[in-house]
Structure 1
Amino acid sequence: MAPYGAHYSLEVTRLKSFELGTNSPFKFKASPSEPQYFLYKFPPDVDSVVIKVVSEAVYPCSVVSIQDIVCPVYDLDHNVEFNGVYQSMTKQAAITVQKKDFLGEQFFVVFVIKPEDYACGGSVPSSIQDKANHTWNLQRMKTLEVTVVPSIQESVYVNAILFSFLSFFSFYLGSLVVAFVHYVRSRKKSSSGSVSPDDGTGTVTSSHPITVNTTEGSSYGAIDESSPSGGQQLSSLGHKATCGSDTDSSVEEESDFDTMPEIESDKNVIRTKVFLYLSDLSRKDRRIVSKKYKIYFWNIITIAVFYALPVIQLVITYQTVVNVTGNQDICYYNFLCAHPLGVLSAFNNILSNVGHVLLGFLFLLIVLRRDVLHRRSLETKDLCTMEYGIPKHFGLFYAMGIALMMEGVLSACYHVCPNYSNFQFDTSFMYMIAGLCMLKLYQTRHPDINASAYSAYASFAVVICLAVLGVVFGKNAVWFWVLFSIVHVVASLGLSTQIYYMGRFKIDLGIFQRAFMVLYTDCIQQCSRPMYMDRMVLLVVGNLVNWSFAIFGLVYRPKDFASYLLGIFICNLLLYLAFYVIMKETPAESREKNRPCILLGFFDDHDVWHFLSATALFFSFLVLLTLDDDLDSVRRDRIPVF
């Protein structure tokens, strides 16, 4: 590849060290015109070994190949990929080799230095660059050190599998203990007498127009709209089952509520109040609202099946291609801690996702238990359940549990053959988890106006389409980043308008015109302060954060679009949660970041991340599930909406 003639000399020498030993580092030099290869024979007690190669220099780019003992030996740049398995390498490489793959129980380790560095991440082929500079480096020499070490024993596999399953089954045991303790305490409380419910002021009262309807599917909110008096008349509580031992027979004062019943029949009138309470936004029939949220559960199961099956088929094809061609540059494994099992190249990365599946299923069981107890309370017409605390709807929780399980399944699929193209498999249900958590947070105090399952999943579909476009075009296409930034900003404004006006603005092409007219009239012409200050503060902060993300993406155009998009979702989720509580590279370059196993000699740091993230998501879901348990004894007309 030299642009002009070069002088060379040919020298033939006898190799003194041709056979590699076990656990014996061997250092040597190689160049494009001087490839090296060595022999390794399996000891009788070793069934699998790891070939570890290191170099202090990043370049020149090199290739490590494991080949069977055949002639000829493929040790040239243009044919090194014809036989065996191979990896490109800059500073380090590692290949696991099993005795069963070689009939003679021996193999060649071949080292080839490439004449240019483009395959390892160089900007342009060196021949083109050197022609421009009128120079040519004939001494592309690289010093390498190779060590052959035995792989882990079968007992390590068994210990790792037991550790993975027993660790997460301990959560099941802990849940059983907590459920038993809760059962004992509830039995003691029922035998000693219940504590009276709180009306938000520390006293037991019924001085608010809340009607207790004894019919199936009663309005569990503030007003019984079917009542002739428009919800002004209180039901007699003396002959009904109440959640406390005390009842109040005080007479309702006329000044305590509006005497015009028709004003309570229009949601657009109710939701314009400056101070909203939960009873204002929980007026729809309980059964209708519950069915609405159960659609989330059934839809996500359908999505999971139709999404996961093609993914599984695709990654199986990827793994087959890797095994047949021997090209280990297709998948980005941590080769220093990649333990194969059967046809899988990195079984440990797949096994470590078992926590998402087991904890997701446990979360479903916990939600199911709460759902059953809640339904029993409704059947007994319990006043606490029907008129106090946050309305219980479990459809979104079921969907979150399925999403957590599917995250484990799709993460395992991604780790069958990790690469930039299929990273979207690992992130798709992460987007859904973040989105469902945000919807659940909003639903707790806005049960009547939350998004429908169809519109929510349609939005997730748009996000996943953008993620695919980002993978395909996001690296260099300026038009894509301009389009994505516009969509991001417009979506943020549209959603902000919907949240600020409590769902009273119809989402269509005229939403921004109507919002502009309201903004112009209230803020510019009349110079008045925002009517809903708390909502305005949240939305201003949220829009500033999202616009910052849009500007960052437009200016810097990050290479990993999937992670960038996931960061937007997680940041918005954490932002809303805080408000609620208070108020990869080329294969060779990737291999430079390979690290040894850190847990049980089997799991790497990413596997530990799988364990910890599954646990963190599980406990985060429990936080959302129990976030408002302290309001179970507070009347809904005393719970503020924000």
Structure 2
Amino acid sequence: MVLRSCWKSRHKNNCGPAPRWIRSGLAALFWLCVTQLDFGCGAVRETKNVVQKDAEFDVTYNDTVTSENQTIYAFNHTISRNKGVRVSVDVLSQGLESPTLFVVRQKQAVLSFQVPLILRGLYQRKYPYNHVGRTLCQPPTRAASETQYFFVDVSTLSSTGTNYQLRVSRVESFTLQTDKKFSFTASPSQPQYFKYVFPDGVDTVIVKVNSDMTFPCSVMSVQDIQCPVYDLDNNVAFIGMYQTMTKKGAITVQRKDFPSNSFYVVVVVKTEDEACGGPLRFYPLRPDELIDAGNRTKVLDVIVTPAINCKSVYVMGMLFCLGIFLSFYLLTLLVAYCPSNEMKAFSLFHHDLFLPSLLPSERSLESVGRSRQESLSSVEEDDYDTLDDINSDKNIVRTKKFLYVSDLSRKDKRVLSKKYQIYFWNIATIAVFYALPVVQLVITYQTVVNVTGNQDICFYNFLCAHPLGALSAFNNILSNLGYVMLGLLFLLIVLKRDIVHNRALVRNELSALECGIPKHFGLFYAMGTALMMEGLLSACYHVCPNYTNFQFDTSFMYMIAGLCMLKLYQKRHPDINASAYTAYACLAAVIFFSVLGVVFGKGNTVFWIIFSVIHILSTLLLSTQLYYMGRWRLDSGVLRRMVYIVYTDCIRQCSGPMYIDRMVLLVMGNIVNWSLAAYGLIERPNDFASYLLAIAICNLLLYFAFYIIMKLRSGERIQCLALVCILFTAVVWGFALYFFFQGLSTWQKTPAESREHNRDCIVLSFFDDHDIWHFLSSIAMFGSFLVLLTMDDDLDTVQRDKIFVF
């Protein structure tokens, strides 16, 4: 009577507020059903014709359901831990306005779905599926098997009737076996999932899902054994760990994360391919328009393999890493205590092997010895900037056709030492303020990955990612230890040389005061610190490598390249090298453009035009500054001076360049940089940070090759230690670049496409190709630093007024 009264009042006053006596107990529940649910009070009032049938497995039931009848299929089922149950439904008649509802009632779970099943894609586009297959959740049982009933209810609101087919079958291969591959098919409306139980003695496994088909895009998920199982495109990301995939997918699973010692491996095919880098489908013309999804069936296979989980493998990996780099400490000690006379006996070239006849004859005429007082005269411009004759003296000295180191080492060595020591203190300050927020950010990234389970946030090599604690890929972090250890070793080597040189100065040794390349160690200290910071920031980047934090891995690479070029230039131009503030300001501008390029550079024509113009103009300005040895100024009269030079040197008389060697270097440098600028403008590479790093490396290699060639042309020799460092470093760089270009992952593509490049570990079942790149590149950088440190040791007994500037 209450329900009938409600039904009558609902048509009169739209079911107004319920009386107080209805708001409690069971009556309130009925009132909620009548007033809130979409079945309508009339549906509650009317009595359906309910038919219950005893059903059997592996039998296809063809039936019709209308709004007047409801069919219940009763199954007597023996639940087994190793087998599953799958319900397949196919609706033969279209009923989009009144879909057919299927409800599977189990002892501890209820699964319901409608057919046609409407799945939504990007921009809420709708895709209907008439064929649906779902695996039933398997409630945990204490016994190995247990007999239960479960029911499949079929109903609809369609008055015309809907034809359907129902089939319930057992899944014999429901439980996955270790190291046994299992193949299956899946689609958006027919997801698949399987159960895996950790065997005794195995605490960590890698779940690998593979397919020969790139598309359709799919999602693999690892979920705890519980009901319901989230196995549709619109809910698979609700719990557990998940990742998109095209051909490859892999998730490392640890026993400690699953109290039941088992988990589900769920594979879902997405309704659209945009998440995997596929084409974007057309936008529907009407908001309610249904789109034909087409054939999106995908053939896949799954295999679960044990991962390394014993502590001994982690310990071996750490000892291997430490052993490699501690051996460099031992080798350094052996070389340091090797008798110096024996080392000097092994030199590549005799001092007179390359005769000055390879040089213009005027160079010998200009080679006039300087007195000790003149070579040590202090003309520090900060002390005499009010005297005009100081600038005149600089113009006379620095614009000579042939220069010697004594011409460009006239400033007080104490002032220069302080100037170059600022490089170290500045980079140390930069490192602290740069590293602290980076560490905080990557910890946040790792926390988000662990909490949400979204494996698409970080671009790991999932086939060789060994977790430790909260870290997902400990091996990629550990392999960066070499940068830190070898950077520290280089600092110790530089410190030893610094101490020895200072002691020589205290003793007023002639070789320290007047001979060799002036010893300034500030840039070397900065290089060693930058190498250590590269290791720290690379480790931070590999905590969660992705699109937004790649600049952490490259920022100090720019600094290392810049500092190496500055050190090469400082060797022969100690008086006119850039100050630390200017140098770091330029490097900051490079990093700024790196960030802009990562954010805005992809396909942005305006950005690439602006960057290419700035690149070319910067190259021209720097070339002019280097050609005129710092005596050129950018001011209001620069255009007038340029026109005058062109008129006098090119029009009035066709004279060649005064400084041929410098001109050759700068012309080659401009050709290389203009070519790189043109390449960037035409190709517009997606990885702007690597493109910018390639520019820095090309310029460094060009200048280094020029330095070596000019050193040999000048009749100088390369000692044995420096030669060994050069050859060793070149070989190591070659192998390092080989492993770098293996490309195990890339954030330039989608996470699913990146996983196509994933490969297994290659060393100790712990380190992958990229880890080997870390090992070799840290060694190669250390060797490069040693080359810069030792390549001019042959000049330690040569007076500075006989050492050429180039």
Partner residue, 1:210: 370
Partner residue, 1:590: 754
**Distance of 1:509 and 1:358 partners within structure 2:** 50
Alpha-carbon contact 2:531-2:560 (below 8 Å) kept: yes
Partner residue, 1:440: 567
**Distance of 2:268 and 2:126 partners within structure 1:** 21
Partner residue, 1:623: 787
**Distance of 2:624 and 2:570 partners within structure 1:** 17
Matched AA of 2:785: F
SS of residue matched to 1:320: helix
Where is the strand percentage greater, Structure 1 or Structure 2?
A: 2
Matched AA of 2:415: I
**Distance of 1:508 and 1:323 partners within structure 2:** 57
Alpha-carbon contact 2:377-2:411 (below 8 Å) kept: no
SS of residue matched to 2:176: coil
Question: In 2 relative to 1, CA 264–122 (structure 1 residues): closer, same or farther, beyond 3 Å?
Answer: closer
2:774 matched to 1:610? Answer: yes
SS of residue matched to 1:585: coil
TM-score scaled by length of structure 2 = 0.70
Question: In 2 relative to 1, CA 264–381 (structure 1 residues): closer, same or farther, beyond 3 Å?
Answer: farther
Partner residue, 1:80: 236
Q: Which has the higher contact order (CA 8 A, sep 6+)?
A: 1
**Aligned-pair CA distance for 1:506:** 2.3
Alpha-carbon contact 1:117-1:126 (below 8 Å) kept: no
Partner residue, 2:109: none
**Distance of 2:190 and 2:129 partners within structure 1:** 16
Give CA-to-partner distance per residue, 1:10-33, whole Å, 9 cap, x none. 543221110011111111111111
Give CA-to-partner distance per residue, 1:511-566, whole Å, 9 cap, x none. 56544542343223322111111111111110111111111111111110000000
Partner residue, 1:158: 315
**Aligned-pair CA distance for 1:476:** 2.5
Question: Does 14-23 or 516-525 show the bigger shift?
Answer: 516-525
Question: In 2 relative to 1, CA 177–209 (structure 1 residues): closer, same or farther, beyond 3 Å?
Answer: same
SS of residue matched to 1:365: helix
2:469 matched to 1:330? Answer: no
SS of residue matched to 1:82: coil
Partner residue, 2:335: 178
Note the aligned Cα RMSD (angstroms).
Answer: 2.6
**Distance of 1:82 and 1:16 partners within structure 2:** 28
Partner residue, 1:361: 488
2:796 matched to 1:632? Answer: yes
Identity %: 64
**Aligned-pair CA distance for 1:593:** 0.3
Alpha-carbon contact 2:480-2:538 (below 8 Å) kept: yes
Alpha-carbon contact 1:47-1:98 (below 8 Å) kept: yes
Matched AA of 2:688: F
Partner residue, 1:425: 552
SS of residue matched to 1:640: coil
Give CA-to-partner distance per residue, 1:96-124, whole Å, 9 cap, x none. 00001111111110000001100001131
**Distance of 2:315 and 2:769 partners within structure 1:** 19
Alpha-carbon contact 1:211-1:223 (below 8 Å) kept: no
Matched AA of 1:180: Y
2:534 matched to 1:407? Answer: yes
Question: Does 445-454 or 175-184 show the bigger shift?
Answer: 175-184
**Distance of 2:425 and 2:263 partners within structure 1:** 53
Q: Which runs of 5+ in 1 are unaligned?
A: 190-195, 202-206, 214-218, 227-261
Alpha-carbon contact 2:128-2:291 (below 8 Å) kept: no
Matched AA of 1:58: T
Question: In 2 relative to 1, CA 373–471 (structure 1 residues): closer, same or farther, beyond 3 Å?
Answer: same
Matched AA of 1:345: S
Question: In 2 relative to 1, CA 516–369 (structure 1 residues): closer, same or farther, beyond 3 Å?
Answer: farther
**Distance of 1:104 and 1:324 partners within structure 2:** 19
- Counterpart of 2:445 (choices 315, 318, 322) is 318
Question: In 2 relative to 1, CA 397–515 (structure 1 residues): closer, same or farther, beyond 3 Å?
Answer: farther
Partner residue, 2:688: 561
Alpha-carbon contact 1:497-1:515 (below 8 Å) kept: no
Alpha-carbon contact 1:494-1:511 (below 8 Å) kept: no
Partner residue, 1:122: 278
2:193 matched to 1:66? Answer: no
**Distance of 2:604 and 2:498 partners within structure 1:** 49
- Counterpart of 1:89 (choices 237, 241, 245) is 245
Partner residue, 1:101: 257
Question: In 2 relative to 1, CA 570–224 (structure 1 residues): closer, same or farther, beyond 3 Å?
Answer: closer
Partner residue, 1:17: 173
Matched AA of 2:241: V
**Aligned-pair CA distance for 1:300:** 0.3
Partner residue, 1:295: 422
Question: In 2 relative to 1, CA 532–4 (structure 1 residues): closer, same or farther, beyond 3 Å?
Answer: closer
Question: In 2 relative to 1, CA 415–423 (structure 1 residues): closer, same or farther, beyond 3 Å?
Answer: same
Matched AA of 1:606: H
Matched AA of 1:84: G
Question: Does 70-79 or 478-487 show the bigger shift?
Answer: 478-487
Partner residue, 2:58: none
**Aligned-pair CA distance for 1:582:** 1.0
2:665 matched to 1:529? Answer: no
Give CA-to-partner distance per residue, 1:479-530, whole Å, 9 cap, x none. 1111111111111011001000000012456556544542343223322111
**Distance of 2:299 and 2:235 partners within structure 1:** 22
SS of residue matched to 1:266: helix
**Distance of 2:775 and 2:639 partners within structure 1:** 45
**Aligned-pair CA distance for 1:286:** 0.7
**Distance of 1:565 and 1:299 partners within structure 2:** 23
- Counterpart of 2:679 (choices 552, 557, 580) is 552
**Aligned-pair CA distance for 1:70:** 1.3
**Aligned-pair CA distance for 1:210:** 3.0
**Distance of 2:605 and 2:435 partners within structure 1:** 32
Residues matched between the structures, number:
585
**Distance of 2:190 and 2:644 partners within structure 1:** 76
Matched AA of 1:627: M
**Aligned-pair CA distance for 1:170:** 0.7
**Distance of 1:88 and 1:279 partners within structure 2:** 64
Alpha-carbon contact 1:356-1:407 (below 8 Å) kept: yes
